[in-house]
Amino acid sequence: MKIKYLDGYRLYNAIKAGSEAVIENQDYLNKINVFPVPDADTGTNMASTMRSILETSNVYTSFNKTILSVADSALIGARGNSGIIFAQFIHGLSQELKNQQKVTTETFARSVNNAIKYVYNSILDPVEGTIITVMKDWAKAIQTNSKKTKDFVSLLSNALKDAKLSLQNTPKQLQVLADAGVVDAGANGFVDFLEGISNFIHQGKLRRIQQNEYNTIAVDHNIEYVFDPDSLRYCSEAIITNSQLDLKTLQQELKQFGNSMIAAGSPEKIHLHIHTNHPDQLFHRVSEIGSISKIKVDDMLMQYRVSHERKYPIALITDSACDLPQNMIEKYQILQIPFNINFGDTPYLDKLTINADRFYKKLQTDAIHPKSSQPSLKTVQNLYSFLSAHYKKIMAIHISDKLSGLYKISKQMEKNFQENEITVFNSKQLTVSEGLVVLRTAMAIEAGMTFEDLNTKVADWIEKTDIFVDVDTLKYMVRGGRVSPLKGMIATALNLKPIVTLDEDGKATAAGKSFSRRGNMKKILELLNKKTENRKIWNYAIVHADAESRAQIYAEKLTKIIGKEPAYIMELSPVVGVHNGIGAVGIGIMEE
């Protein structure tokens, strides 16, 4: 069989075959991921990029319409260094071929070489021995072989050999790869993509990719992967539109915030990737440059610890509405899924791109009241996909399903990842009370409790946990739509101070009210005093929304009632502060 031209259908089928090959081999790519950070997610990120292409792009008869659709899907859905570099290559190819109905080998060869320029232009500091090197060598091979043949079958088959050789040479160009005894994971993913296309052309179907098929160096699983203490912690990404800056100017403007920067696409639509220690400061600046969307922030240090320094056999997941101090989250290797917060058209990730301090200042000064929303299905899927490669047992504890749909989204994962034992709990709790349930579960995992026993115990701990929130004003609940303007007006006129709790189903309800903050505190202390009579308390904790002094007063009084200090005192998460507002104080308590 000979193929003398590519149209839209042939292009899409080739990309589909290549994408499926990457998805098939993602676990292996994760295992060999050491550069730029050994966070074991290159395969997950490249697979996610390929899924975006397969799920959202359209196929047309003409080559140009198809490649433009594929490029847009790749640019929007790309993840990680290698995923975005791949997307930029496709973007460059689409720009070079945007007027072509059908593509010959000669035109294709010229265009892929020009597309490499787009790739290098998008990277602030290109590093050879990575995916860009293999792309460049493959493009050169395409150019050379196009002078000898007008058949795409021959052209792609011969160039694939050069790509494999280039991949095998990556450890000779990058010392960190040689030290670990692996080839570059992103480059391996690109060769997987090419191999998938070749297999499809020759066999008409995808052949399962075998691990090590392209490697002359086998993976040494005894290699000690080390997270460089000087490495930046957060892999941050976003789509930027309406920017007045070209890619190079944008890179210069943002390089102060980190490294590993890629700005893919064009000024009309840029996919930004950067490693940083301060995603909140980064995105505050980015929001001044253009409109941002599709924010993603991965904690690479936590991913590294999960991949190479796992403490426990059970993964523990929660969400950002669960208020636990960062030191406890890190100690027990707890994974948090962030909620989305929007101030008008500007999006934030709870606790990542906006911290409590900045949030409560904006809440006071911003004319637009923020809105919260649950994480996307893809965000949840990506986390479970990553964890499923490292754990056989996964437990998730989420905010009450009466307050968010995240529990239902996460529940789907029990079916999607059937090879893993996964249990997803509706905590029927929020903020500090959810935090206590997660903390007790984490401590039980550390103590060696079995997965089966945990399933029973967690349900019991949920039932033994309560929360009482001292709300300063209803105006934030009115602005957020949780309370009607009429009720809010009446409460303001009477100076009513509500006490909010959660019922047995996890639905918000009033536990009382008073006409002063002193009255509220008195009533909450009476409720807690009654609850602790003749009952042993496992622990309690306190959260506050820019009301630390009031939280400390609660702590002093509760220490006398319960006989011990709170497990922790911390600021209320921004996503909960959207509705409870400034001045709120919450107390979570769990019986023994």
* Preceding omega of 36 cis (within 30 degrees of 0): yes
> Looking up tokens 């989250």, which residue turns up?
329
Q: What does the domain layout of the chain look like in residue ranges?
A: 8-203, 232-299, 300-462, 465-591
Name 251's bridge partners. none
Q: What are phi and psi of 230, to 5 degrees?
A: -85, -5
What type of residue is 327?
N
Cβ atoms of 542 and 557 within 8 Å: the answer is no
> Looking up tokens 């090197």, which residue turns up?
133
SS3 track for 469-519: EECCCCHHHHHCCCCCHHHHHHHHHHCCEEEEEECCCCCEEEEEEECCHHH
The DSSP H or E segment spanning 263 is strand 258-266
Q: Which two tokens stand for residue 282?
A: 């980064």
Q: Which two tokens stand for residue 85?
A: 């570099």
Residue 162 φ/ψ region, left for φ over 0, alpha for ψ in the -120 to 50 degree band, beta for the rest: alpha
| Tens digits of residue pLDDT in 23-51 | 999 999 999 999 999 988 999 999 999 99
Sign of CA dihedral 272, 239, 54, 120: negative
Q: Which CATH number fits domain 300-462: 3.40.50.2000, 3.30.420.480, 3.40.50.10170, 3.40.1390.10?
A: 3.40.50.10170
Q: Full-prediction pTM beyond 0.85?
A: yes
Q: What are phi and psi of 588, to 5 degrees?
A: -105, 140
Q: Which two tokens stand for residue 324?
A: 């636990």
Q: Which residues of the chain have pLDDT under 50?
A: 206-221, 484, 486, 488-491, 493-494
pLDDT at 490: 47
| Tens digits of residue pLDDT in 175-230 | 999 999 999 999 999 999 999 999 888 876 544 444 444 444 444 445 566 777 77
Tally Cβ neighbours within 10 Å of residue 136: 19
Residue spans of alpha helices (H) in 57-151: 63-77, 80-96, 105-122, 131-146
Tell me how far the alpha carbon of residue 430 is from its chain's centroid: 21
- Rounded to the nearest 10°, the torsion over CA 157, 161, 164, 168 is 180
Cβ atoms of 363 and 480 within 8 Å: the answer is no
Q: What are phi and psi of 468, to 5 degrees?
A: -130, 125
Q: Which two tokens stand for residue 258?
A: 């980190």
Look at the domain 232-299 and name its fold: Alpha-Beta Plaits (3.30.70)
Look at the domain 8-203 and name its fold: 1.25.40
How are strands ordered across the β-sheet holding 421-426? 334-337, 314-319, 393-398, 421-426
Cβ atoms of 240 and 272 within 8 Å: the answer is yes
pLDDT at 485: 53
Q: Which two tokens stand for residue 294?
A: 């599709």
Q: How far, in Å, CA of 277 to CA of 299, rounded?
A: 10
Cβ atoms of 107 and 150 within 8 Å: the answer is no
Tally Cβ neighbours within 10 Å of residue 148: 11
Tally Cβ neighbours within 10 Å of residue 592: 9
Q: How far, in Å, CA of 525 to CA of 554, rounded?
A: 8
Name 137's bridge partners. none
Outline where DSSP puts E strands in 267-380.
Answer: 269-276, 291-299, 314-319, 334-337, 340-343, 346-349, 371-373
Among candidate residues 73, 55, 33, the one with its CA nearest the CA of residue 381:
55
Q: What are phi and psi of 491, to 5 degrees?
A: -60, -40
Name 512's bridge partners. 499
Q: Which two tokens stand for residue 195?
A: 């191999």
Burial label for 518, CB within 10 Å (0-12, 13-18, 19+), is: exposed
pLDDT at 544: 97
Look at the domain 465-591 and name its fold: Hypothetical Protein Tm841; Chain: A;domain 3 (3.30.1180)
What does the DSSP 8-state code read for residue 417? T
Percent of the chain with pLDDT over 70: 92
Q: How far, in Å, CA of 268 to CA of 284, rounded?
A: 20
Q: How far, in Å, CA of 34 to CA of 211, rounded?
A: 17
pLDDT at 108: 96
What does the DSSP 8-state code read for residue 122? H
